[in-house]
Amino acid sequence: MPTSSTQSPVMRTAHLAPTVFRAGKATLAGATFAGTTLLAACSDAPKPAAESTTPAIPVSVATVSDAAQPAVVSATGTYLSRDEIPLAFKIGGVVARVLVDEGQSVHRGQLLAALDVREIDALVSKAQAATDKAQRDQARVQRLVTDSVATAVQLQDATTALDAARADLQAARVNREYALITAPEEGVVLRRMLTPGSNVAAGTPAFMLGGSRRGRVLRVGLPDRDALRVQLGDSADVAFDAVPGTHFRGSVVLVGQSADPRTGTYAVEVVLRGADALPSGLVGRVTLQVRERRRARGLTVPVEALLEADKDSATVYTVPASGDLIAQPQRVSVAQLTGERVAVQGLAPDTRVVTRGAAYLMPGARVRIVP
Protein backbone atom coordinates (compact mmCIF):
# COMPACT_ATOMS: atom_id res chain seq x y z
CA MET A 1 0.00 0.00 0.00
CA PRO A 2 1.59 3.21 -1.03
CA THR A 3 2.78 5.36 1.82
CA SER A 4 1.37 8.86 1.93
CA SER A 5 3.61 11.72 3.01
CA THR A 6 0.67 13.38 4.69
CA GLN A 7 -0.25 11.99 8.14
CA SER A 8 -3.70 11.97 9.51
CA PRO A 9 -4.66 14.52 12.21
CA VAL A 10 -4.91 11.79 14.76
CA MET A 11 -1.44 10.54 14.14
CA ARG A 12 -0.06 14.11 14.28
CA THR A 13 -1.64 14.65 17.56
CA ALA A 14 -0.33 11.38 18.92
CA HIS A 15 3.14 12.23 17.66
CA LEU A 16 3.16 15.68 19.18
CA ALA A 17 1.70 14.74 22.56
CA PRO A 18 5.04 13.91 24.27
CA THR A 19 6.49 17.18 23.05
CA VAL A 20 3.54 19.15 24.34
CA PHE A 21 3.75 17.29 27.67
CA ARG A 22 7.42 18.01 27.95
CA ALA A 23 6.74 21.62 27.12
CA GLY A 24 4.03 21.68 29.75
CA LYS A 25 6.42 20.35 32.37
CA ALA A 26 8.97 22.97 31.41
CA THR A 27 6.33 25.66 31.61
CA LEU A 28 5.14 24.44 35.04
CA ALA A 29 8.70 24.26 36.32
CA GLY A 30 9.33 27.76 35.03
CA ALA A 31 6.20 29.03 36.70
CA THR A 32 7.17 27.36 39.96
CA PHE A 33 10.69 28.90 39.86
CA ALA A 34 9.24 32.31 39.07
CA GLY A 35 6.83 32.01 42.00
CA THR A 36 9.62 31.01 44.37
CA THR A 37 11.78 33.89 43.16
CA LEU A 38 8.90 36.31 43.67
CA LEU A 39 8.29 35.09 47.24
CA ALA A 40 11.97 35.45 48.03
CA ALA A 41 11.97 38.93 46.60
CA CYS A 42 8.91 39.79 48.65
CA SER A 43 10.55 38.50 51.85
CA ASP A 44 13.58 40.76 51.26
CA ALA A 45 11.45 43.81 50.50
CA PRO A 46 11.27 46.54 53.22
CA LYS A 47 8.45 45.85 55.68
CA PRO A 48 6.00 48.58 56.67
CA ALA A 49 7.38 50.67 59.53
CA ALA A 50 6.20 49.16 62.83
CA GLU A 51 5.39 51.19 65.88
CA SER A 52 8.78 50.98 67.66
CA THR A 53 8.52 54.11 69.82
CA THR A 54 8.66 53.23 73.55
CA PRO A 55 6.42 55.39 75.76
CA ALA A 56 8.39 58.00 77.71
CA ILE A 57 8.71 57.36 81.45
CA PRO A 58 7.34 60.21 83.61
CA VAL A 59 9.98 61.50 86.02
CA SER A 60 10.75 64.54 88.15
CA VAL A 61 14.09 66.31 87.93
CA ALA A 62 16.15 68.62 90.12
CA THR A 63 19.07 70.86 89.27
CA VAL A 64 22.48 70.37 90.81
CA SER A 65 22.95 73.40 93.07
CA ASP A 66 25.43 75.05 95.37
CA ALA A 67 25.32 73.72 98.93
CA ALA A 68 25.42 77.24 100.36
CA GLN A 69 21.81 78.08 99.53
CA PRO A 70 19.62 78.61 102.62
CA ALA A 71 17.24 75.89 103.79
CA VAL A 72 13.90 76.29 105.54
CA VAL A 73 11.52 74.11 107.52
CA SER A 74 7.81 74.94 107.53
CA ALA A 75 5.25 73.71 110.06
CA THR A 76 2.05 74.62 111.89
CA GLY A 77 1.83 74.98 115.66
CA THR A 78 -0.15 76.36 118.60
CA TYR A 79 0.69 79.45 120.61
CA LEU A 80 0.41 78.59 124.31
CA SER A 81 2.10 78.83 127.69
CA ARG A 82 5.45 77.15 127.86
CA ASP A 83 4.46 75.61 131.20
CA GLU A 84 1.03 73.97 131.31
CA ILE A 85 0.43 72.86 134.88
CA PRO A 86 -2.31 70.31 135.68
CA LEU A 87 -3.90 70.95 139.09
CA ALA A 88 -5.83 68.37 141.12
CA PHE A 89 -6.96 67.49 144.65
CA LYS A 90 -4.67 65.11 146.49
CA ILE A 91 -7.64 63.40 148.12
CA GLY A 92 -11.13 62.57 146.96
CA GLY A 93 -14.31 64.24 148.11
CA VAL A 94 -17.22 66.47 147.20
CA VAL A 95 -16.41 69.77 145.50
CA ALA A 96 -17.72 72.61 147.63
CA ARG A 97 -16.50 75.67 145.69
CA VAL A 98 -15.04 76.54 142.29
CA LEU A 99 -13.86 80.14 142.28
CA VAL A 100 -12.42 80.67 138.76
CA ASP A 101 -13.44 80.12 135.14
CA GLU A 102 -11.54 79.37 131.94
CA GLY A 103 -9.55 82.28 130.58
CA GLN A 104 -9.30 83.99 133.96
CA SER A 105 -5.94 85.33 135.11
CA VAL A 106 -4.84 84.29 138.59
CA HIS A 107 -2.01 85.20 140.93
CA ARG A 108 0.24 82.98 142.98
CA GLY A 109 -1.47 81.52 146.07
CA GLN A 110 -4.98 82.38 144.90
CA LEU A 111 -7.65 79.88 145.97
CA LEU A 112 -9.15 78.18 142.93
CA ALA A 113 -11.37 75.42 144.36
CA ALA A 114 -12.11 73.62 147.64
CA LEU A 115 -13.59 70.33 148.80
CA ASP A 116 -16.16 69.90 151.53
CA VAL A 117 -13.75 69.57 154.48
CA ARG A 118 -16.14 68.40 157.20
CA GLU A 119 -15.06 64.78 156.89
CA ILE A 120 -11.43 65.78 156.52
CA ASP A 121 -11.59 67.98 159.63
CA ALA A 122 -13.08 65.06 161.54
CA LEU A 123 -10.12 62.88 160.54
CA VAL A 124 -7.74 65.60 161.70
CA SER A 125 -9.52 65.80 165.05
CA LYS A 126 -9.38 62.03 165.41
CA ALA A 127 -5.67 61.99 164.66
CA GLN A 128 -5.13 64.83 167.17
CA ALA A 129 -7.00 62.93 169.88
CA ALA A 130 -4.96 59.77 169.23
CA THR A 131 -1.77 61.79 169.49
CA ASP A 132 -2.82 63.34 172.78
CA LYS A 133 -3.61 59.90 174.24
CA ALA A 134 -0.33 58.44 173.05
CA GLN A 135 1.50 61.34 174.63
CA ARG A 136 -0.24 60.79 177.99
CA ASP A 137 0.49 57.05 177.87
CA GLN A 138 4.13 57.67 177.16
CA ALA A 139 4.39 60.14 180.07
CA ARG A 140 2.73 57.67 182.49
CA VAL A 141 5.05 54.83 181.46
CA GLN A 142 7.99 57.18 181.89
CA ARG A 143 6.97 57.82 185.53
CA LEU A 144 6.47 54.10 186.17
CA VAL A 145 9.92 53.37 184.84
CA THR A 146 11.32 55.97 187.23
CA ASP A 147 9.54 54.18 190.11
CA SER A 148 10.86 50.82 188.78
CA VAL A 149 7.30 49.61 188.16
CA ALA A 150 7.46 49.52 184.33
CA THR A 151 10.22 48.12 182.21
CA ALA A 152 12.36 49.84 179.60
CA VAL A 153 10.68 47.80 176.87
CA GLN A 154 7.26 49.15 177.87
CA LEU A 155 8.64 52.68 177.69
CA GLN A 156 10.02 52.01 174.21
CA ASP A 157 6.63 50.68 173.04
CA ALA A 158 4.84 53.74 174.42
CA THR A 159 7.33 56.06 172.69
CA THR A 160 6.86 54.23 169.36
CA ALA A 161 3.08 54.54 169.67
CA LEU A 162 3.45 58.27 170.27
CA ASP A 163 5.64 58.68 167.19
CA ALA A 164 3.11 56.79 165.03
CA ALA A 165 0.23 58.92 166.33
CA ARG A 166 2.11 62.10 165.52
CA ALA A 167 2.82 60.84 161.96
CA ASP A 168 -0.88 60.09 161.45
CA LEU A 169 -1.73 63.61 162.63
CA GLN A 170 0.77 65.11 160.21
CA ALA A 171 -0.70 63.12 157.32
CA ALA A 172 -4.23 64.22 158.22
CA ARG A 173 -3.13 67.86 158.27
CA VAL A 174 -1.44 67.51 154.87
CA ASN A 175 -4.61 66.02 153.40
CA ARG A 176 -6.56 68.92 154.90
CA GLU A 177 -4.18 71.33 153.21
CA TYR A 178 -4.57 69.60 149.82
CA ALA A 179 -8.35 69.72 150.04
CA LEU A 180 -7.82 73.18 148.56
CA ILE A 181 -6.36 74.01 145.14
CA THR A 182 -4.29 77.18 144.95
CA ALA A 183 -2.39 78.66 142.00
CA PRO A 184 1.32 77.73 142.18
CA GLU A 185 2.26 80.80 140.10
CA GLU A 186 0.73 83.59 138.06
CA GLY A 187 -0.97 82.49 134.90
CA VAL A 188 -4.21 81.88 133.04
CA VAL A 189 -6.75 79.13 133.60
CA LEU A 190 -6.70 77.25 130.30
CA ARG A 191 -9.26 74.57 131.18
CA ARG A 192 -11.67 73.90 134.03
CA MET A 193 -12.83 70.30 134.48
CA LEU A 194 -15.07 70.30 137.58
CA THR A 195 -18.24 71.86 138.97
CA PRO A 196 -19.48 72.43 142.52
CA GLY A 197 -21.26 69.44 144.00
CA SER A 198 -19.41 66.86 141.92
CA ASN A 199 -17.65 63.97 143.60
CA VAL A 200 -14.02 63.70 142.49
CA ALA A 201 -11.40 61.04 143.12
CA ALA A 202 -7.89 61.73 144.33
CA GLY A 203 -5.69 63.02 141.52
CA THR A 204 -8.55 63.79 139.12
CA PRO A 205 -7.52 66.82 136.99
CA ALA A 206 -9.43 69.91 138.03
CA PHE A 207 -7.69 72.74 136.14
CA MET A 208 -5.02 73.27 133.50
CA LEU A 209 -3.06 76.38 134.36
CA GLY A 210 -0.91 78.18 131.82
CA GLY A 211 1.98 79.51 133.85
CA SER A 212 3.51 82.86 133.01
CA ARG A 213 6.87 82.43 134.71
CA ARG A 214 8.58 81.23 131.52
CA GLY A 215 6.28 82.98 129.07
CA ARG A 216 4.50 81.56 126.03
CA VAL A 217 5.80 79.79 122.94
CA LEU A 218 4.64 78.50 119.59
CA ARG A 219 4.86 74.73 119.92
CA VAL A 220 5.09 72.62 116.75
CA GLY A 221 5.65 68.93 116.06
CA LEU A 222 8.25 68.07 113.42
CA PRO A 223 9.02 64.72 111.76
CA ASP A 224 12.43 63.26 112.51
CA ARG A 225 14.08 64.38 109.25
CA ASP A 226 13.15 68.03 109.96
CA ALA A 227 13.78 67.91 113.71
CA LEU A 228 17.36 66.77 113.11
CA ARG A 229 18.00 69.88 111.01
CA VAL A 230 16.69 72.39 113.56
CA GLN A 231 19.01 73.87 116.20
CA LEU A 232 18.61 76.14 119.18
CA GLY A 233 18.70 79.77 118.09
CA ASP A 234 17.41 79.20 114.54
CA SER A 235 15.36 82.22 113.46
CA ALA A 236 11.64 81.92 112.82
CA ASP A 237 8.92 83.85 111.02
CA VAL A 238 5.36 83.25 112.27
CA ALA A 239 1.99 84.30 110.84
CA PHE A 240 -1.45 83.85 112.44
CA ASP A 241 -4.73 83.74 110.50
CA ALA A 242 -6.30 85.63 113.41
CA VAL A 243 -3.86 88.52 112.84
CA PRO A 244 -3.76 88.90 109.04
CA GLY A 245 -0.92 90.86 107.50
CA THR A 246 1.27 90.67 110.62
CA HIS A 247 4.40 88.57 110.94
CA PHE A 248 6.18 87.88 114.23
CA ARG A 249 9.87 87.13 114.49
CA GLY A 250 11.28 84.67 116.99
CA SER A 251 13.86 81.98 117.65
CA VAL A 252 13.97 78.31 118.59
CA VAL A 253 14.39 77.74 122.35
CA LEU A 254 13.73 73.99 122.57
CA VAL A 255 14.20 70.96 120.33
CA GLY A 256 12.74 67.73 121.71
CA GLN A 257 15.08 64.78 122.09
CA SER A 258 12.38 62.10 122.08
CA ALA A 259 9.34 61.56 119.89
CA ASP A 260 5.77 61.88 121.09
CA PRO A 261 4.52 58.26 121.35
CA ARG A 262 1.11 59.27 119.97
CA THR A 263 2.18 61.24 116.90
CA GLY A 264 5.81 60.22 116.35
CA THR A 265 6.85 63.88 116.05
CA TYR A 266 9.44 65.90 117.96
CA ALA A 267 8.40 69.02 119.90
CA VAL A 268 10.02 72.30 118.88
CA GLU A 269 9.28 75.54 120.76
CA VAL A 270 9.68 79.05 119.34
CA VAL A 271 9.67 82.22 121.47
CA LEU A 272 8.06 85.18 119.69
CA ARG A 273 8.88 88.85 120.10
CA GLY A 274 6.06 91.37 120.48
CA ALA A 275 3.33 88.74 120.85
CA ASP A 276 2.46 89.20 124.54
CA ALA A 277 -0.99 90.57 123.73
CA LEU A 278 -2.02 87.49 121.75
CA PRO A 279 -4.33 85.01 123.51
CA SER A 280 -3.32 81.41 124.10
CA GLY A 281 -4.51 78.78 121.67
CA LEU A 282 -3.92 80.61 118.37
CA VAL A 283 -2.74 78.45 115.47
CA GLY A 284 0.24 79.86 113.58
CA ARG A 285 2.36 78.94 110.55
CA VAL A 286 6.10 79.06 111.18
CA THR A 287 9.01 79.13 108.76
CA LEU A 288 12.35 78.21 110.33
CA GLN A 289 15.61 79.33 108.76
CA VAL A 290 17.74 76.24 109.28
CA ARG A 291 21.47 76.53 109.81
CA GLU A 292 23.22 73.37 108.70
CA ARG A 293 25.48 71.88 111.36
CA ARG A 294 28.35 71.58 108.90
CA ARG A 295 28.70 73.31 105.59
CA ALA A 296 28.49 70.86 102.74
CA ARG A 297 31.35 70.70 100.25
CA GLY A 298 30.80 71.10 96.51
CA LEU A 299 27.48 70.71 94.73
CA THR A 300 24.41 68.97 96.10
CA VAL A 301 21.55 66.87 94.77
CA PRO A 302 18.42 65.56 96.51
CA VAL A 303 18.97 62.33 98.42
CA GLU A 304 16.22 60.58 96.44
CA ALA A 305 18.28 60.99 93.23
CA LEU A 306 20.91 58.51 94.46
CA LEU A 307 20.79 54.90 93.31
CA GLU A 308 23.04 51.90 93.93
CA ALA A 309 24.88 53.65 96.75
CA ASP A 310 28.06 51.86 97.82
CA LYS A 311 30.08 53.46 100.62
CA ASP A 312 31.15 56.84 99.20
CA SER A 313 29.78 56.47 95.65
CA ALA A 314 26.38 56.22 93.98
CA THR A 315 24.63 56.43 90.62
CA VAL A 316 22.42 59.24 89.36
CA TYR A 317 20.48 59.58 86.12
CA THR A 318 21.03 62.81 84.21
CA VAL A 319 18.75 64.39 81.62
CA PRO A 320 19.94 66.95 79.01
CA ALA A 321 18.54 70.46 79.21
CA SER A 322 17.47 70.37 75.54
CA GLY A 323 17.01 67.96 72.66
CA ASP A 324 15.94 64.36 73.16
CA LEU A 325 15.15 63.65 76.80
CA ILE A 326 17.26 60.54 77.17
CA ALA A 327 18.32 59.53 80.69
CA GLN A 328 21.88 58.33 81.15
CA PRO A 329 23.44 56.94 84.35
CA GLN A 330 26.48 58.61 85.86
CA ARG A 331 28.58 57.49 88.80
CA VAL A 332 29.31 60.19 91.40
CA SER A 333 31.29 60.45 94.63
CA VAL A 334 29.27 61.15 97.78
CA ALA A 335 30.95 63.77 99.97
CA GLN A 336 28.48 64.59 102.75
CA LEU A 337 24.82 64.21 103.71
CA THR A 338 23.16 67.51 104.63
CA GLY A 339 19.50 67.20 105.53
CA GLU A 340 17.53 66.21 102.43
CA ARG A 341 20.44 66.90 100.06
CA VAL A 342 23.79 65.26 99.60
CA ALA A 343 27.04 66.83 98.44
CA VAL A 344 28.48 65.02 95.41
CA GLN A 345 31.50 65.25 93.15
CA GLY A 346 31.49 64.40 89.46
CA LEU A 347 28.61 66.54 88.19
CA ALA A 348 28.70 69.91 86.48
CA PRO A 349 26.69 72.83 87.89
CA ASP A 350 23.08 73.12 86.66
CA THR A 351 23.01 69.46 85.58
CA ARG A 352 19.52 68.03 85.72
CA VAL A 353 19.23 64.78 87.70
CA VAL A 354 16.21 62.51 87.97
CA THR A 355 14.59 62.34 91.42
CA ARG A 356 11.15 60.76 91.48
CA GLY A 357 11.05 57.83 89.06
CA ALA A 358 14.81 57.22 88.95
CA ALA A 359 14.41 53.65 90.22
CA TYR A 360 12.42 52.70 87.09
CA LEU A 361 14.99 53.87 84.50
CA MET A 362 17.40 51.96 82.32
CA PRO A 363 20.35 53.50 80.42
CA GLY A 364 19.07 55.32 77.34
CA ALA A 365 15.45 55.43 78.49
CA ARG A 366 13.24 58.18 77.11
CA VAL A 367 11.67 60.29 79.85
CA ARG A 368 8.94 62.84 80.20
CA ILE A 369 9.36 65.50 82.88
CA VAL A 370 6.40 66.04 85.19
CA PRO A 371 6.09 68.34 88.20
For residue 36, pLDDT beyond 60: no
**Three-state DSSP class for residue 199:** strand
Question: In sequence order, what DSSP letters do the residues of 120-168 get, joined into one string?
Answer: HHHHHHHHHHHHHHHHHHHHHHHHHHHTTSS-HHHHHHHHHHHHHHHHH
Of 4-18, 61-75, 180-194, the one with minimum mean pLDDT is 4-18
pTM of the full structure:
0.49
For residue 280, pLDDT beyond 70: yes
CATH T-level assignment (fold) for domain 73-79+211-290: Elongation Factor Tu (Ef-tu); domain 3 (2.40.30)
Quote the pLDDT of residue 68.
55
DSSP 45: S
Quote the pLDDT of residue 67.
58
What mean pLDDT is predicted for residues 129-135?
95
In angstroms, rounded to a whole number, what is the distance separating the alpha carbons of residues 249 and 239? 9
CATH T-level assignment (fold) for domain 118-178: Helix Hairpins (1.10.287)
Of 119-128, 226-235, 259-268, 295-304, the one with minimum mean pLDDT is 295-304
Per-residue confidence at 4, pLDDT binned at 50, 70, 90? very low
Of 14-23, 36-45, 80-89, the one with minimum mean pLDDT is 14-23
Quote the pLDDT of residue 134.
95
In angstroms, rounded to a whole number, what is the distance separating the alpha carbons of residues 223 and 60? 24
Quote the pLDDT of residue 33.
39
Per-residue confidence at 70, pLDDT binned at 50, 70, 90? low
Q: Are 88 and 226 in contact (CB under 8 A)?
A: no
Give yes or no on whether 73-79+211-290 and 118-178 have one common fold: no
Mean pLDDT of the chain: 82
Q: Are 249 and 33 in contact (CB under 8 A)?
A: no
What are 72's strand-pairing partners? Answer: 289
For residue 76, pLDDT beyond 90: yes
In angstroms, rounded to a whole number, what is the distance separating the alpha carbons of residues 335 and 329? 19
Per-residue confidence at 330, pLDDT binned at 50, 70, 90? very high
Most confident of 212-216, 245-249, 294-298: 245-249
CATH T-level assignment (fold) for domain 61-68+296-369: 2.40.420
What are the extents of the domains in the chain?
61-68+296-369, 73-79+211-290, 118-178
For residue 32, pLDDT beyond 80: no
| Cβ count near 331 (within 10 Å) | 11
Quote the pLDDT of residue 215.
86
Beta strands per DSSP E along 256-311: 266-272, 282-290, 299-302, 307-310
